[in-house]
Amino acid sequence: MERKLDFEFIDYNYGKKDNSKAKELFSIDTARRAINFHREIPGYKITPLEALPNLAQMLGLGGIYIKDEAQRLELNSFKVLGGSFAISRYIQKKLGLTDEETTYEYLASEDCHKRLGDITFAAATDGNHGRGIAWASMKLRHKCVIYVHKETSQARIDGIRRYGADVHVVDGNYDDAVRKIAEDAKTYGWTIISDTSWDGYTEIPTWIMQGYTTMLLESQEQFAGMGIIRPTHVVVQAGVGALAASVIGFYSALFPENPPIFIVVEPDKAPCVFESIKADDGKCHSVKGDLDTIMAGLACGDPSPIAFNILSHNADFFLSVPDYIAARGMRILSCPLKGDPFMISGESGAVPLGALYSIMTDKGAEDIRKRMKLDKNSLVFMVNTEGNTDPKHFRQIIWDGCDPVPHEFRTRR
């Protein structure tokens, strides 16, 4: 009996692409501004762009390339790129500095601190973004308050507190934490550094998305060293959509006439972008409930409007996938085919590879593969957004086999 697909799928490539906003927000000059700032941070180094040639051959693809952000600074995640850049842009604007004056050294200086006065940076988080804001605040000697939701693991909370932040647990999900910190920031005069946007709050989330382009500019330099002009396909995960919009916006602006094919992946227990695309009315729609997915970094019920604008005008395909697909991605990376690199990836980081594997191996996905033009000529790019940020849960998946692949979807080759 033919197996059915275990994920939902939307083909959104209706020939209506509009990359004007992508060009505005994610120009090459903007990416260079971000990377020039990040290069000044002590400890900065380019993270690896790993090739998985043997897995690509097994799946019938030309190449699989993963940017390993688990090795970003000491944070184990890409999120610090957006948070640190947004803080630098906030201070730059507040003090009226030029780009040349907005160096990391100056931002950390006593003179800068005196001119700014006391500032408390604040954010709501599932873990990685909050840790990045806490780290940047500590390095620049500012106070930091982070709100997390009740399902946030103790390991993630401890990781934030390690960098001196005051952490508060909110009774509710991630979106409740976002709403609560927005209220409290007004009361206490905190400066919110959020990667999601809302009415009247778009500038800082835009800076965060632009900060992420550092890793993409690095990737293009690394591709050039391999003799590759650009990937043919990009598979990217979405929570509120900020990372996905950054990746898709960057490549849409860089290759406006011939962009890669963009595939957006979300957990089926928190598919806010997927459901908004499915509604097909150009509006953001909320997903309610506990959002109880193992992909903690993607457990978001409300899309970021500015990110959704990029995704709805530039992405090609949207997937909503069960948790086991992310878990399988983690296991593939931690136990690679001989000759392919070993990678440590958390649940949110591994879901693009898990989704690609399902697309390329599920018997019911032949038509999807054809529509996505995934074949022996395809060069697929994705980002491992996080490493082992929750050690207990990581061991439960890798060692204990939690979230196993259902029997009917197990590997047959």
Catalytic residue positions, numbered: 79, 126
Distance of CA 120 to the CA centre of its chain: 25
Q: Output phi, psi for 146, to 5 deg.
A: -125, 130
Give the amino acid at 139.
K
Longest dimension (CA), the chain: 71
Q: What b/e sequence results for 125-161 when a residue is b if at least 16 CB atoms lie within 10 Å of its CB, and e otherwise? A: bbbbbbbbbbbbbebbebebbbbbbebbbeebbebbe
Compute the half-sphere exposure of residue 231: CA atoms within 13 Å on the CB side of its CA. 31
SS3 132: helix
Q: Quote the CA–CA distance of 157 and 314 in Å, as a whole number.
A: 35
Q: Which sign does the torsion angle of CA 304, 309, 314, 320 carry?
A: positive
188 near 6, Cβ under 8 Å? no
Q: What is the C-alpha R_g of the chain?
A: 20
- Cβ-based burial of 111 (10 A; exposed 0-12, middle 13-18, buried ≥19): exposed
Q: Which residues 6+ apart lie within 8 Å of 181 measured at CB?
A: 122, 123, 124, 145, 147, 190, 192, 194
Return the structure tokens found at 329. 């991605």
Distance between start and end Cα atoms, the chain: 17
Contacts for 154 with CB less than 8 Å, ≥ 6 apart: none
Of 353, 332, 382, 323, which Cα lies nearest the Cα of 7?
A: 323
CA dist 75 → 65, 124, 133, 136, 303 (Å): 22, 17, 10, 10, 25
